[in-house]
A = this chain, B = another copy of it.
Amino acid sequence: MKTHLECFQCFANQVLVASRLASKDEKLHKLAIQKVMAKLAELDTDLPPPAAGAFIYKTVREISGNFDPYADIKRESNEFAMSLYNDLKQQVESSQNPLKTAVILAAAGNIIDFGTGRTIHKKDTLDALEDALKNPPEGNIDRLCSAMKSAENILVLGDNAGEIVLDRLMIEALGRDKADIIYAVRGGPIINDALLEDAQYVGMENIARVVSNGSESPGVFLDDCSGEFKKIFKNADVIVSKGQGNFEALSDTDHDINFILRAKCPVVSRYLNVPEGTNLVIEKKGMELIM
C-alpha cells in the first residue's frame, strides 16, 4: 500500500505522541516533529506508510536518547496477555474448531497496537477478544486453517508485543512440529512491536524457531530486511502475516501471503472497504487480495 496524503496528519500525531513518551523535554518534542516535517516534505509516497514510520520513531529515539520509549508498554502488554493465556487456551481447546478459534483470537489481538498514536487499554483488548468470538473476522478462515495444516513449513510475521501471546495460541492450536514454524520479529525497537525478548518472554521459542527480520520498520518492508530474513521469506511455503503494519508493507508485493489483521485507521479501512475496527483474514495470491 502506498502512503496516502491522509497519512501525513497521522505521522504528525505519531511523532508527537512518541516524543512525549520518550522525553519530558518539550524542546526535544519540537525538534523531533520538525525533523519529521522536513522528511515528509520530500517523502516518496510510493513507499508504504511503515517506511515513514521507521523514520519517525528513529528520529524520536535519536533526539530523545531513549532507545526504546515503548519498553514499559510492551512489558505490560505481554504480562497482561500472558495473564489471559490459561483461560484463552482452555477456550480454544474446548471449542469445536480449536485452530479456527485461535485464528479469530489472533486477529482480534492485533488491537494491541500503539502505532497510530493510539493508547490501548486492557478493557479494549478484552472487549475485542470477546467480540471477535461472536463476530468472526471477515474472510475465509477455514481456507487459512487448511493452508496452515497442509503447509510444508510456515513463516509467521509477528506484529506487536502482547498480541504475540495470541499468536502463540494459534501456533499451539496448529499442533505442528516446532521445526515447521518460523516466527519473525522486528530487528530493533519500533513502537510496541515485538522483539526477540518479547518472543522469549511469552515462550514462543518452545514452539517455533524465532528469527529477527533485521529491520526497525513497523511493518515487514522487505527492502529494509536482512539478507538472511529475505531468504527465509522467499523459501517459506506458507506466509502468515499478522497486523496492519505488515499488511501496509506487503500488500503491493507479488508474494502469496495470508494476512490476519484488524483495520485500525481510516486509510486502511477505506483501502479495504470495511469499517474501522474490522478484523480480517485476507488471502493474497500474487497481486490479488481475496477476502
| A residues whose Cβ falls under 8 Å from a Cβ of B | 5-6, 8-13, 16, 26, 29-30, 33-35, 37-38, 40-43, 45
* Nearest-neighbor residue (CB-CB) of A16 within chain B: B5
- A34 and B43 within 8 A (CB): yes
CA gap between A267 and B12 in the complex, in Å: 15
Expressed in whole angstroms, the minimum distance between the Cβ of A266 and any Cβ of chain B is 11
User: Which residue of the partner chain, among B9, B29, B35, B37, contacts A38 with CB atoms under 8 Å?
Assistant: B37
Expressed in whole angstroms, the minimum distance between the Cβ of A30 and any Cβ of chain B is 6
Instruction: Name 21 interchain pairs, CB-CB below 8 A, sorted by A.
Output: A5-B16, A5-B26, A5-B29, A5-B33, A8-B16, A8-B37, A9-B10, A9-B12, A9-B13, A9-B16, A11-B12, A12-B12, A34-B40, A34-B41, A34-B42, A34-B43, A35-B41, A37-B38, A37-B41, A38-B38, A41-B41
Expressed in whole angstroms, the minimum distance between the Cβ of A197 and any Cβ of chain B is 31
* Nearest-neighbor residue (CB-CB) of A9 within chain B: B12
Chain B hits for A43, CB < 8 A: 34
* Nearest-neighbor residue (CB-CB) of A19 within chain B: B5
* Nearest-neighbor residue (CB-CB) of A13 within chain B: B9
CA gap between A10 and B16 in the complex, in Å: 13
Expressed in whole angstroms, the minimum distance between the Cβ of A135 and any Cβ of chain B is 31
Chain B hits for A40, CB < 8 A: 34, 37
- A33 and B16 within 8 A (CB): no
Expressed in whole angstroms, the minimum distance between the Cβ of A112 and any Cβ of chain B is 23
Chain B hits for A33, CB < 8 A: 5, 8
Instruction: Output the residue of A10, A26, A35, A37 with the most chain B CB within 10 A.
Output: A37
* Nearest-neighbor residue (CB-CB) of A14 within chain B: B9
* Nearest-neighbor residue (CB-CB) of A38 within chain B: B41
- B12 and A30 within 8 A (CB): no
Chain B hits for A30, CB < 8 A: 5, 45
* Nearest-neighbor residue (CB-CB) of A7 within chain B: B12
Chain B hits for A5, CB < 8 A: 16, 26, 29-30, 33
The 4 closest A-B pairs by CB, nearest first: A38-B41, A9-B12, A37-B41, A37-B40
Chain B hits for A38, CB < 8 A: 37-38, 41
CA gap between A191 and B6 in the complex, in Å: 20
Chain B hits for A16, CB < 8 A: 5-6, 8-9
